[in-house]
Amino acid sequence: MRAPSTLHPLTSLTAAGCTAVITTAAGTWPLSLAVALAAVVLARRAGAGRRVLGTAAAVLLPLGLSLLLLHGLFFPEGRTVLAAWGPARVTAEGLAFAWEAGTRTGACVLVLLLFSFTVSAPDLVAALAARGLPPQFGFVLASALTLLPAMAGRLERIRAAQESRGLVLRGGVLPRLAAVRLQMVPLVLGLIEESGNRAQALDARGFGAAGPRTSYRQVTDPPAQRRLRTAMLLLTAAAVALRLVASWPGAGPV
Amino acid sequence: MSQQSLILPATGTGPGAGSAAGTAKARRNRRLLELAGAVSIAATYIFLVLTQPADIANGPASFSALVALGGFLLGAVLLIAAALPVLPTSTLVLMPVALVLNVVLGQLMGSTGLPFYFDAIGTVLIAVLAGPAAGAATGALSSIVWSFFNPTVLPFAAGAALIGFLAGLAARGGLFRRFYLAPVAGFVTGILAGVVSAPIAAFVFGGTAGLGTGAVVSAFRAMGDTLLAAITKQALISDPMDKAIVFAIVALLVYALPRRTSFQFPFVRRFRVLAGKGPATPEA
């Protein structure tokens, strides 16, 4: 098996999206768990294991704890009561619900993070533009993905500048809010000012003009991967159709 | 036609030359796309509420999750497709800025220790500066880009689009001209956005992402509410307050910007979004 980074970006996007949808449609925790484990293994192999796991933990831990608290203690539909303190009742159904929902979301998050942390953003933008998506979409995507990592350093510089002018980052809520305002206004002002300059530069180079565009970046798309994508999309459509037909409201048990 | 001629020509950022009939047809197609997006979101919400599973003891319903994901994402994509190709470059370059502001200001406000999320500051700011269509597209697009770092944001794209759209409408209606009206507009926006987003939290995730909100939902569940009802009530407690504060922050920010910057946006000049007079420009 080749590393995911050598796949065409649309192939990995389709694979991630289809896996997430099929996992949701199936809705059984063994499959969710298997998908999550597979995503972790693939991420490690692609050398992004630590980043994927770190980001996923930041997203999933609060969600998982919240689900456990919510359904573990309060699940009025539950019948098998394991323990009860006053209004709080630990039920087997509630715990199962939290486990099902948690593993399903966990699998989807891991798979999608595996995609976004292994794909090359310029390749993805070029591939999407070649598929006829508006070039504006590619610009917003690529621009945001490059702007975001630069923000931490920028905020750091603004804070250092304000601190050198006497800003104190301590105290209660009100001084803190004042400190936030002193950092926020220069950040927003700088970003908007910059974007105005960028708009003029882009317009001078014909960004807003209509008509065909030539791309400097060519992403090879082997026919085998095209067939793979079609197959995955068909499989996903079948899974969704099956789930919709099987549990259409009033059609029988879920 | 007359509407078209009212728009102030920003230098070099027009939608391009075309025959009058062509632009009229393109505009009708755009309206149809916007309408289809709104209908898709509304229909999905009504369908989910009407067919919500009465008994969830067998586990989270995949059926509702799929319908929620499909319907809301389709709506968001249609709204993006309607708005994106006609936005002028000056608005377009603001969209990445909005996303960055959503993320960074959300974290910065989080450092104050207040129990709110504040993840729509950028979207509302763009909506106030560039109008409802730009706001809706910014909300939906920024959810898509943000999902590269946090995939759980993706299903809420339709709610984010609604926030941007309503903020733009409020700005057009002049609610940002008086400082005390902005939080009121935010409060109403929060009610609608919270109600629309509740089925996503209930059916796709089976709960809320934070511990604080989870505790509020638990309280309603303890009183015997269904999951959707409990999450909707929780959203009605958190979201209006959150959005009222976000709108107030944006009002502060917009008035803190130099007039030269805020009045460079045709939307701000045309609908007199901000109180006071703009700087003397040839167009104004």
pLDDT at A38: 94
> Are A186 and A156 members of one domain?
yes
> Are A86 and A132 members of one domain?
no
Domain positions in chain B:
26-46+59-270
CA–CA separation, A78 and B57 (whole Å): 6
Using an 8 Å Cβ cutoff, are A179 and A161 in contact?
Answer: no
CA–CA separation, A120 and A13 (whole Å): 11
Q: What is the mean pLDDT of each run of 10 residues along chain A (254 residues)?
A: 64 92 89 92 89 88 86 79 76 86 92 91 86 83 85 87 83 78 86 85 82 78 89 92 80 47
Interface contacts (A, B; CB < 8 Å):
236
**CA of B265, closest CA in chain A: separation in Å?**
10
The percent helix, strand, coil of chain A (3-state, each to 5) is 75, 5, 25
pLDDT at B16: 43
Farthest-apart Cα atoms in chain B, separation: 67
pLDDT at A15: 92
Is A214 a member of any domain?
A: no
Helices (H), ranges, B117-226:
121-130, 132-146, 157-172, 181-199, 211-222
Residues in A 11-70 with any Cβ partner in B closer than 8 A: 21, 24-27, 55, 59, 62-63, 65-67, 69-70
pLDDT at B279: 63
Query: Are B145 and A62 in contact (CB < 8 Å)?
Result: no
Is A252 a member of any domain?
A: no
Is A193 a member of any domain?
A: yes
End-to-end CA distance of chain B: 22
Which secondary-structure segment (H or E) carries A82?
A: strand A81-85
pLDDT at B280: 57
pLDDT at B21: 67
Backbone torsions φ then ψ of A89, nearest 5 degrees: -130, 125
Residue of chain A with shortest Cα separation from B80:
A137
Structural domain containing residue A198: 126-204
Among the partner-chain residues B59, B95, B209, the one whose CB lies closest to the CB of A27 is B59
CA–CA separation, B245 and B251 (whole Å): 10
pLDDT at A253: 46
> Are A112 and A130 members of one domain?
no
Q: How many domains does chain A have?
A: 2
pLDDT tens digits for chain B (284 residues)? 344 444 444 444 444 444 566 778 888 888 898 889 889 989 988 888 888 776 666 667 788 888 888 889 999 988 888 888 888 888 888 888 888 888 777 666 666 656 577 889 999 999 999 999 899 999 998 888 888 888 888 888 999 999 999 999 999 998 998 888 999 999 999 999 989 888 888 888 888 777 777 888 888 888 888 888 888 998 898 889 989 999 998 998 888 888 888 888 888 888 888 887 666 554 44
With a CB cutoff of 8 Å and minimum separation 6, the contacts of B255 are: B179, B274
Q: Which residues of A touch B261 (CB under 8 A)?
A: 189, 192-193, 196
> Are A8 and A107 members of one domain?
yes
What single letter denotes the amino acid at residue B46? I
Is A47 a member of any domain?
A: yes
Q: Which residues of B touch A244 (CB under 8 A)?
A: 63, 66-67
Residues in A 77-96 with any Cβ partner in B closer than 8 A: 77-79, 87-88, 93, 96
CB atoms closer than 10 angstroms to residue A91: 23
Query: Are A254 and B93 in contact (CB < 8 Å)?
Result: no
> Are A42 and A16 members of one domain?
yes
Q: Is B270 on the interface with A (CB under 8 A)?
A: no
Short-list B174, B210, B209, B168, CA closest to B189: B168
Is A62 a member of any domain?
A: yes
**CA of A90, closest CA in chain B: separation in Å?**
12
Using an 8 Å Cβ cutoff, are B279 and B263 in contact?
Answer: yes
pLDDT at B8: 45
pLDDT at A150: 84
Query: Are A62 and B103 in contact (CB < 8 Å)?
Result: no
> Are A89 and A26 members of one domain?
yes
CA–CA separation, B260 and B280 (whole Å): 9
End-to-end CA distance of chain A: 37
What would the two tokens of residue A195 be? 């974007």
> Are A161 and A58 members of one domain?
no
Q: Which residues of A touch B97 (CB under 8 A)?
A: 147, 191-192, 195
> Are A98 and A31 members of one domain?
yes
Query: Are A143 and B96 in contact (CB < 8 Å)?
Result: yes
What single letter denotes the amino acid at residue B254? V
